[in-house]
Structure 1
Amino acid sequence: MEFDIVALSRWQFAITALYHFLFVPLTLGLSVLVAIMETVYVMTGRTIWRQMTKFWGTLFGINFVLGVSTGIVMEFQFGMNWSYYSHYVGDIFGAPLAIEGLMAFFLEATFVGLFFFGWDRMSKVAHLITAWAVAIGSNFSALWILIANGWMQNPVGSAFNPLTMRMEVSDFGAVLTNPVAQAKFVHTVSAGYVTASFFVLGVSAWYLLKGRHAELAKRSMTVAAAFGLAASLSVVVLGDESGYLANESQKMKLAAMEGMWETEPAPASFNLIGFPSLEDRETHYAVKIPMAMGLIATRSLTEEIPGIKELVENAKGNIQSGIKAFDALQKIREAKSSTIDPFLKEAFEENGQKLGYALLLKRYVDDPRQATPEQIDKAAWDTVPPVLPLFWSFRVMVGLGFYFILMMGVFFWLSARRQLDKHQWLLKLAVISIPLPWLAAELGWIVAELGRQPWIIEGVLPTAAAVSTLGASTVLLTLIGFIIIYTILFIVEMGLMLRAIRHGPQLDKQSSVPLLAATMPTE
């Protein structure tokens, strides 16, 4: 990757997003688990469930604060580092983010305060409603953000206006019901549920190993195992749906994930392992599972799946069409008229959907219409995302997914037999496994975002064309600043979380304030 404004801007957003996503999955999952625990408390009236709600709610609160602080910065980055992107798609992309802030974030933030300080001021039922409002608000935040991200992966319900030079909404309902966005939402939320389940399971296992808070730990593990097993199964099912949708709207991403250089005839095989090489344009030592890819990507055994080389050839044709669209667009702009000449309008509309492919040539020539065949060939190969990191990120993520099902299944079976504390090695394994869902979530983010390159909006706007006109040194300085600040925040969060876990749940005194205060440093 070249050390330039585009590379630095990508690194800055990627690092802030990776930091932010350390907190998001736990927030999503813990909010629901805490609401479930309080529901049991209201139904049974047993004090142990109130203590569980307060304890895990405290850990949720610490994580929530850090997630908000890192997430806000990301939204500002769209205007700072990606100003042309914000101008180009602001009418579409801005709407879900605005709705997320008005509907979800304020709902969540308001009820978080009521949850922590309303125990002695609200009835049981009212406080339970507050807990579920926090959980719903957290998940609503994810919904609207992923609607925006899903549109970047599959830009439906929109059209380019050659007079304003912007993408504009043509069907907001299509944006909301975008199948890619909906699949990403349920997949991401389920991953958050798995993350929180492993967190609760691991911390509770640590208490059992230490011989502390056994009753609370066993009940927490029972809830986490049941919830986590259902979530782990749903992650795999929903991941399969994402693979099917990728074949519909992001064929190059799918081919790169599979290291599939040649078109795979039906029934398409799945590369279990292998070593993709961009230089050789071949995947060496591939071990295949017959028919598996056909079932995942096409839901059939009769459809072939295009490989990278075929898709590159298709990209060359798209670039040629994009050049025609670019030529018509330039003539429309040169006319400087408030209306478009019908002949030019027809010429643009015929090839307008491929305009983004012509912009790929901007890396090699100022005017795409002057591009040579060699430059068109290079631009076509630029549509291939980094194959090796995609290939292995996907496989490690999938492998972890099946491990999560196995682990949660074992602990669910143990909880049903009331033998959660009978196997020390399983308890130790649960503690060691706490970070693994975060690893899987980060790898999933890498697959989703790296697989879209070179596009910031799939097939519409190249990433290189979306950045702000800033100096590389400015972006580098802020990148270093973000890394330092976020690392400090992460260390602080880990310190508070570990302090609260070591302190453990307190005896119920009809107030949540002492429990919160226990996580704060004292003089």
Structure 2
Amino acid sequence: MELDIVALSRLQFAMTALYHFLFVPLTLGLSVIVAIMETVYVMTGRRIWRQMTKFWGTLFGINFVLGVSTGIVMEFQFGMNWSYYSHYVGDIFGAPLAIEGLMAFFLEATFVGLFFFGWDRMSKVAHLITAWCVAIGSNFSALWILIANGWMQNPVGSQLNPATMRMEVTNFFEVLTNPVAQAKFVHTVSAGYVTAAVFVLGVSAWYVLKGRHSELAKRSMTVACSFGLAAALSVVVLGDESGYLTTEHQKMKLAAIESMWDTEPAPASFTLFGIPDMQDRETHFAVHIPWVMGLIGTRSLDTPIEGINQLVEQGKTRIENGIIAYDALVKVRENMGTGVADTADQQRLEQYGNDLGYAYLLKRWVDDPRDATPAQIDMAANSLVPDVPILFWTFRIMVACGFLFIAVMGAFFYLSARRRLDHYPWLLKLAVWIIPLPWIAAECGWIVAEFGRQPWIIEGILPTAAAVSSLGASTVLLTIVAFVAIYTVLFIVEMGLMLAAIRKGPQPDNGPEMPTLGFRRQHGTMAAPAE
């Protein structure tokens, strides 16, 4: 990739997003796990659960601070590096971000303070409500961000206003209920839950191996494996939903993930292994599993999944239609200046307007898409193909990690039910070693979602190359170096604080056992009081 302004702007956003996403999944999951632990404390009154809540809450707090600080910069980038994008879709994209800031972020930030400083100033129930408000606020933040991102993947409830040359909302309810956004939200949140569960399980397993804080660690492992198993299973189910929606709205992305160069007879097979070759448009040494991709992608046995080559040919047609729409748009805008409306131009714009964005792909090679040559149209159509090897392998790494998490969580759930969590040291060591894997899987998922959308910043509407600010490449390169340096320092600081807190371990809570909310312990289990 040439180091031009577009490539550098993409690189900067990718670097800041990848850094930010190191903190987001753990924040989402730990907030819920901490709230669950405090719920058990309020129900049982046992101080070990309060000790657990405080310990994991401390780790949540460290991670939360770094997540907020890295997330703020991402929103500033829309104005700095993507000014035309902000102008073009600000009426739509800005609304979810504003709601996220006003509704979710302030809710989360306010109750985080109460959570940490209100232990001895609030009643147990009031503090428990605070803990759940923190969890709800964290997840609401993800909801609004993913509504905005989901619209970029599937731009519903909006249309272009030729007078202002801006995308405007026509149905905000459609934006909110966008099926792609909803699927992305539940899938991303579930992945965050898995991340936190693996983190809690791994740290607790390390304590058991070291013979430290064993009672607290075993209880934490029980919560983590139960919560994590449910979350890991849901990630697979919700990932299937995402694959089905991708077939409907982003066919090129799905074909690239599968390295499917040509349309296969239905039902399409799943490529378990292969070496995609972009130059020859072939997948070498491919190992296929019959029917699987057809069932995932179409949920049928008779619907084919279109291949990359066929989608490129369709792209040529849509580019040609886009040129007609572009010509109609130019004439409609010219007529606006004269006050004389041409019905034929307006009708052409309405007829071919859905393909207008494909004409903008040509601006990479020619200033006026109407002057494009057949060769330039071919180049624009071929630019619709993202980097197949990257998508192919990142998707498979993500899926492999997902099934590994199910197996590990299932094993610990079984051992927890048998009260044998400390019987297999090799399994405890495995739990420690896999702590980084959820982050790797999450980053791979982000790459699949965002890299797979290229060359679009808004699917079918606005190419990435047309959305950047008019900045010098040296300016963007300087900010990339600065952001990477600052974020690296922040990451090292966070890791140092987290490791220090883990080595120090949970602090003793010598307060008295508290009254319960009508629950008692019976034979090592929690039971309701007798009538």
TM-score higher than 0.5: yes
Distance 1:458 1:167 in 2: 13
SS at match of 2:509: coil
Instruction: Describe how 1:416-495 pairs up with structure 2 within 5 A.
Output: 416-495=417-496
AA matched with 2:196: A
AA matched with 1:296: I
SS at match of 1:160: strand
Distance 2:484 2:409 in 1: 34
Q: 1:417 to 1:155 in 2, by over 3 A?
A: same
What's the offset of the Cα at 1:408? 0.2
What's the offset of the Cα at 1:461? 0.2
What's the offset of the Cα at 1:285? 1.2
Partner of 1:507: 508
Partner of 1:21: 21
AA matched with 2:415: L
Q: 1:107 to 1:339 in 2, by over 3 A?
A: farther
1:441-481 CA-to-partner distances (Å, cap 9, x unmatched) read 00000000000000000000000000000000000000000
Partner of 1:255: 255
Partner of 1:161: 161
Partner of 1:351: 352
1:144-203 CA-to-partner distances (Å, cap 9, x unmatched) read 000000000000000011111010001100000000000000000000000000000000
Instruction: Describe how 1:206-217 pairs up with structure 2 within 5 A.
Output: 206-217=206-217
What's the offset of the Cα at 1:343? 2.3
Distance 2:455 2:176 in 1: 25
Q: TM-score, normalised by structure 1?
A: 0.97
Q: TM-score, normalised by structure 2?
A: 0.95
Partner of 1:11: 11
> Is the 2:47–2:511 Cα contact (8 Å) retained in structure 1?
no
Distance 2:264 2:439 in 1: 33
AA matched with 2:111: F
Partner of 1:65: 65
1:363 matched to 2:367? The reply is no
Distance 1:258 1:178 in 2: 25
Q: 1:300 to 1:464 in 2, by over 3 A?
A: same
SS at match of 2:3: coil
Q: 1:110 to 1:318 in 2, by over 3 A?
A: same
Q: 1:173 to 1:45 in 2, by over 3 A?
A: same
Q: 1:149 to 1:204 in 2, by over 3 A?
A: same
> Is the 1:120–1:510 Cα contact (8 Å) retained in structure 2?
no
State, as a whole percentage, how many aligned pairs show the same letter. Answer: 78
Partner of 1:195: 195
1:49-81 CA-to-partner distances (Å, cap 9, x unmatched) read 000000000000000000000000000000000
AA matched with 1:268: A
AA matched with 1:475: V
Distance 2:339 2:466 in 1: 26
Distance 1:338 1:137 in 2: 50
Aligned residues: 511
Partner of 1:396: 397
What's the offset of the Cα at 1:508? 1.3
Distance 2:153 2:341 in 1: 30
Distance 1:98 1:509 in 2: 44
What's the offset of the Cα at 1:331? 1.1
Distance 2:31 2:116 in 1: 13
Instruction: Describe how 1:45-444 pairs up with structure 2 within 5 A.
Output: 45-335=45-335, 336-337=337-338, 340-444=341-445
SS at match of 1:284: strand
SS at match of 1:272: strand
Greater Cα shift, 315-324 or 337-346: 337-346
Distance 1:35 1:144 in 2: 22
Q: 1:338 to 1:402 in 2, by over 3 A?
A: farther
Partner of 1:517: none
What's the offset of the Cα at 1:365? 0.7
What's the offset of the Cα at 1:334? 2.3
1:347-373 CA-to-partner distances (Å, cap 9, x unmatched) read 111111111100000011111101110
Distance 1:496 1:87 in 2: 40
Distance 2:353 2:2 in 1: 30
Distance 1:311 1:435 in 2: 37
Distance 2:503 2:342 in 1: 72
Partner of 1:519: none
AA matched with 2:404: Y
Following superposition, which runs of at least 4 residues in structure 1 exceed 3 angstroms of deviation? 337-341
What's the offset of the Cα at 1:388? 0.4
AA matched with 2:124: K
> Is the 1:26–1:195 Cα contact (8 Å) retained in structure 2?
yes
Q: 1:112 to 1:510 in 2, by over 3 A?
A: farther
Partner of 1:520: none
What's the offset of the Cα at 1:333? 2.2
Distance 1:149 1:338 in 2: 38
1:4-43 CA-to-partner distances (Å, cap 9, x unmatched) read 0000000000000000000000000000000000000000
SS at match of 1:274: strand
1:300-359 CA-to-partner distances (Å, cap 9, x unmatched) read 001111100000000000000000011011112223256753222111111111111000
Q: 1:340 to 1:152 in 2, by over 3 A?
A: farther
- Which structure 1 segments of 5+ residues have no match? 512-523
> Is the 2:208–2:422 Cα contact (8 Å) retained in structure 1?
yes
> Is the 1:356–1:462 Cα contact (8 Å) retained in structure 2?
yes
> Is the 1:163–1:338 Cα contact (8 Å) retained in structure 2?
no
SS at match of 1:300: coil
Q: 1:20 to 1:510 in 2, by over 3 A?
A: farther
> Is the 2:38–2:49 Cα contact (8 Å) retained in structure 1?
yes
Partner of 2:515: none
Q: 1:339 to 1:419 in 2, by over 3 A?
A: farther
Q: 1:341 to 1:27 in 2, by over 3 A?
A: same
SS at match of 1:279: coil
Distance 1:252 1:118 in 2: 51
AA matched with 1:342: T
- Which structure 2 segments of 5+ residues have no match? 513-531
